[in-house]
Amino acid sequence: MILQYCTTPSRTHQTGPAAWGWRRNVRRGAVIVAGWIAIMATGCARLEETSSVDAVHGDADTHAGFVIRNMAMLNRLYAEGYEPKPFVVDLDGGSAPIQTLIRPKAISAATGRLGLSGLSSARQVNRLHQYVLSNYAFVPEPLAWRPPEETVSLGRGDCKNLSLLLISLLASAGLEARGAISHGHMWVEVRVEDHWRILELDGDQEWGRIYRIPGFYDLPLYRIYPDRSEKRRRLAVPR
């Protein structure tokens, strides 16, 4: 199994540990290098776990088929349980665990301005989610991992950077939140009244069709908590 970038026009998401180790992957062969060059020409990259180097091109239906195959592959190779696994990202100053980009204290002032005091946990979640959706533009950022205060300053981000901002806001409000990464996408899950609620930050209707594929949000490859990361346990003998 290799790690592969998959493309679609004007959209960008990433997943898997090789969002930081892609340089090592492209050294594996000229085929991957050639594919990488072609992909970068599109201005959009999606990092997926797959068992082939077949490129994924075109419309949402094409990518929907890829997601379904990817889900089946993950379920074949990985157990439903999770185990601790560091999730390291490339920053301007070097590599660091993704937890360095979850910073509740750094954006606590923004949380305080949103009038959360006295609201139920469900209404706090709604207000914080809507704040991010309403105030930050969704833009492709294929290789940029940013701390939440930088996202606040720029007023934009992709699924991973907006998710890191929302996790930081939720944690600053005292709510239990985590990120989830799978199928070329990152989203947020927050615990409300003893269940985990999914918070999506990509409002595009076409991509919403992909996210509504049954099982899309179930058993993500990675779970990212403010204090640790976990990955689905690899099966000793793939089914």
Per-residue confidence at 113, pLDDT binned at 50, 70, 90?
A: confident
Report the run of H or E that residue 129 belongs to, with start and end.
helix 121-135
More confident residue, 189 or 55: 189
Query: Which amino acid is located at 114 in the chain?
Result: L
Average pLDDT, integer, range 94-119 = 91
Task: Give the pLDDT confidence score for residue 110 in this predicted structure.
Answer: 82
Mark residue 6 as left, alpha or beta (left: phi above 0; alpha: psi -120 to 50; beta: remaining).
beta
Q: Are 1 and 49 in contact (CB under 8 A)?
A: yes
Task: Give the pLDDT confidence score for residue 236 in this predicted structure.
Answer: 84
- The three-point CA angle 164-167-170 to 5° equals 150
* Nearby residues of 30 by Cβ (< 8 Å), 6 or more positions away: none
More confident residue, 12 or 185: 185
Exposure on the CB side of residue 116, measured as CA atoms within 13 A: 25
Per-residue confidence at 238, pLDDT binned at 50, 70, 90?
A: low
Tens-place pLDDT, residues 25-60 = 333 333 333 333 232 232 223 333 333 323 334 455
* Nearby residues of 77 by Cβ (< 8 Å), 6 or more positions away: 1, 234, 235, 238
pLDDT over 90 percentage in the chain: 58
Find, among 125, 97, 100, the residue nearest to 111 by Cα.
Answer: 125
68: helix, strand or coil: helix
Q: Where are the domains of the chain?
A: 2-82, 84-234
* Nearby residues of 176 by Cβ (< 8 Å), 6 or more positions away: 170, 190, 191
Task: Give the pLDDT confidence score for residue 204 in this predicted structure.
Answer: 86
* Nearby residues of 173 by Cβ (< 8 Å), 6 or more positions away: 111, 116, 124, 128
Angle of helix 121-135 relative to helix 159-172, nearest 10 degrees, comes to: 140
Task: Give the pLDDT confidence score for residue 43 in this predicted structure.
Answer: 29
Considering the domain delimited by 84-234, tell me its CATH architecture: Roll (3.10)
Task: Give the pLDDT confidence score for residue 55 in this predicted structure.
Answer: 36
Average pLDDT, integer, range 154-163 = 96
Please indicate, yes or no, whether the overall pTM of this predicted structure exceeds 0.95: no
Task: Give the pLDDT confidence score for residue 61 in this predicted structure.
Answer: 59
More confident residue, 161 or 206: 161
